[in-house]
Amino acid sequence: MKKKRILILSIVITTIIIICVVFTLNHSNSKYLSIKLNGKEKIELEYGEDYKDQGAKASYKKENLTKKIKIKTNINLKKIGEYYYKYTIKYKNITKSIKRTVIIKDTTKPEIKLNGDERINIYLDNDYNELGASATDNYDGDLTDKIKVEGSVDNKKQGEYIIKYSVADSSNNENTISRTVNVIKKEEKKVEQKSSKSTTSKGFKIEQINGIYYINGILIANKSYSLPSNYNPGGLLSEFQTNFDKMQSDAASEGINLKIISGFRSYNTQKNIYNNYVARDGQELADRYSARAGHSEHQSGLAADINSLDQSWEYTNEGKWLNQNCYKYGFIIRYVKGKESITGYMFEPWHIRYVGNDLANKLYNNGNWITLEEYFGIDSVYN
Ligand SMILES: [Zn+2]
């Protein structure tokens, strides 16, 4: 009985000794195992910047254990935030770890751009149309909806008004731009009495019926001759529509696709269009391509824009076909190339006007277009 006790006791003691020896050995071995970071412990990155982790190195006495390092990370370069890299080395039952912190931040301001000009002139009593701005951010993307607009324009009072546009991204980086709106007085100009003139410089008879000017029976709407604000046929006139339909189907049979992109426009529609262009480009430039209300042929119901509002459209098959064939259906290219000083408008290969076959044929002039202004001997200038 006593012998058995001694045996158990000696087993217990031996076990304790073994544990102690192993522990001590391990503990003393632990100091030989080393793991160190390459590079800094804390790294800050700008969102969008590339990142290549430099890793860590490990050794035991003179043995290089770098290849045995296990790396764990939660990094996501597509999201701002704080991330870690954990490097662990296990060797001879010893485990050691170190960590690195990587912070991804956004300190880049959103970009903000004005729609329309930085300086806009409007006449007293004319409405200021807020054209707004657009914003994008390297991190948040489109922030246009978040733009705050401050300031207002008093169109009853001459002066300079500043409109401020500001926007902040989700990291609170802010950007601000501004626009200057000048409310100015319209110059008074003497109005020429047109009704007193009864013939043109080429001897054509000018008639005014219900406020509409006709020369030799042809309705005239240009910068010199305006339509009454209450003149509203409500759509394209039947002579336009019928002949256009015929031209369109003949063109289609030759593989040419013609479509009206803007036909009739009322006095008020034209007023809005023109005002928007003035706000965008200023009056001087807008007057070269857009008519003031009452001066647009689109209000007559006898004109339309075909396919494209790009001058290079003249070189497409459609543009060439229209230029060479529209006269056969009673249409003319109204604003001819190189005749801006005569018609008052830049070249518009897309704008056709119905004048009937006889006159269209004369104006076509074997491809060397004559304008209505040249043919009748009239001006196209604002009073
Ligand atoms: Zn047009």
pLDDT tens by residue, 31-56: 899 999 999 999 999 999 999 999 99
Average predicted confidence (pLDDT) for the chain: 92
Q: Are residues 57 and 118 in the same domain?
A: no
Tell how far the Cα of 134 is from the centroid of ligand 1, in angstroms.
Answer: 29
- As given in the structure block, the two tokens for residue 12 are 């217990």
Confidence category of residue 186, pLDDT binned at 50, 70, 90: confident
Q: Are residues 95 and 127 in the same domain?
A: no
The mean per-residue pLDDT over the stretch 277-298 comes to 95
CATH number of the domain encompassing residue 123: 2.60.40.10
Rg (CA), the chain: 40
Q: Which residue has the tokens 């080395």?
A: 89
User: What 3-state DSSP class applies to 71?
Assistant: strand
| DSSP per position, 3-57 | HHHHHHHHHHHHHHHHHHHHHHHHHHHHTTEEEEESS-SEEEEETT-------EE
Cβ atoms 175, 194 nearer than 8 A = no
Q: Are residues 356 and 334 in the same domain?
A: yes
Q: Are residues 212 and 257 in the same domain?
A: yes
Counting DSSP H helices and E strands in the chain, the numbers are 8, 21
Domain-located, residue 14: no
Q: Are residues 122 and 178 in the same domain?
A: yes
Q: Are residues 44 and 127 in the same domain?
A: no
Determine the pLDDT at residue 190. Answer: 38
Q: Are residues 230 and 284 in the same domain?
A: yes
Confidence category of residue 184, pLDDT binned at 50, 70, 90: confident
Q: Are residues 233 and 322 in the same domain?
A: yes
Cβ neighbours of residue 210 under 8 Å, at least 6 residues apart?
Answer: 228, 231
Tell how far the Cα of 185 is from the centroid of ligand 1, in angstroms.
Answer: 29
Domain-located, residue 18: no
CATH number of the domain encompassing residue 247: 3.30.1380.10
Domain-located, residue 383: no
Tell how far the Cα of 73 is from the centroid of ligand 1, in angstroms.
Answer: 63
- Domain with 175 in it: 111-184
Among the listed residues 37, 28, 19, 38, the one whose alpha carbon sits nearest the alpha carbon of residue 92: 28
Domain-located, residue 1: no
Determine the pLDDT at residue 173. Answer: 95
Tell how far the Cα of 207 is from the centroid of ligand 1, in angstroms.
Answer: 24
Tell how far the Cα of 273 is from the centroid of ligand 1, in angstroms.
Answer: 12
Q: Are residues 96 and 138 in the same domain?
A: no
Predicted confidence (pLDDT) per residue in 358-371, tens digit: 999 999 999 999 99
Domain-located, residue 21: no
Residue 372 has pLDDT above 80, yes or no: yes
Determine the pLDDT at residue 187. Answer: 60
Separation between Cα atoms, residue 141 and residue 169, nearest integer Å: 9
Q: Are residues 216 and 358 in the same domain?
A: yes
Terminal alpha carbon distance of the chain? 134
Catalytic positions = 348
Query: Given 184, 212, 230, which residue is the final one in a domain?
Result: 184
**How many structural domains compose the chain?**
3
Q: Are residues 247 and 291 in the same domain?
A: yes
Domain-located, residue 134: yes
Cβ atoms 332, 372 nearer than 8 A = yes
Q: What is the phi/psi pair of residue 111, to 5°?
A: -95, 140
Query: Given 124, 156, 184, which residue is the final one in a domain?
Result: 184
Tell how far the Cα of 290 is from the centroid of ligand 1, in angstroms.
Answer: 8
Give me the count of residues in the chain: 383
Among the listed residues 161, 204, 207, the one whose alpha carbon sits nearest the alpha carbon of residue 180: 161
Separation between Cα atoms, residue 21 and residue 8, nearest integer Å: 20
Q: Which residue has the tokens 């406020």?
A: 211
User: What 3-state DSSP class applies to 174?
Assistant: strand
Q: Are residues 237 and 350 in the same domain?
A: yes
Domain-located, residue 138: yes
Cβ atoms 335, 347 nearer than 8 A = yes
Cβ atoms 116, 277 nearer than 8 A = no
Distances in Å between the alpha carbon of 11 and those of 2, 5, 15, 18, 25?
14, 10, 6, 10, 21
Q: In terms of DSSP bridges, do strands 70-73 and 81-91 run parallel, antiparallel, or are they unpaired?
A: antiparallel
Separation between Cα atoms, residue 139 and residue 27, nearest integer Å: 49
- As given in the structure block, the two tokens for residue 326 are 């529209």
Confidence category of residue 191, pLDDT binned at 50, 70, 90: very low
Q: pTM of the entire structure? A: 0.51
Domain-located, residue 221: yes
Query: Given 43, 72, 105, which residue is the final one in a domain?
Result: 105
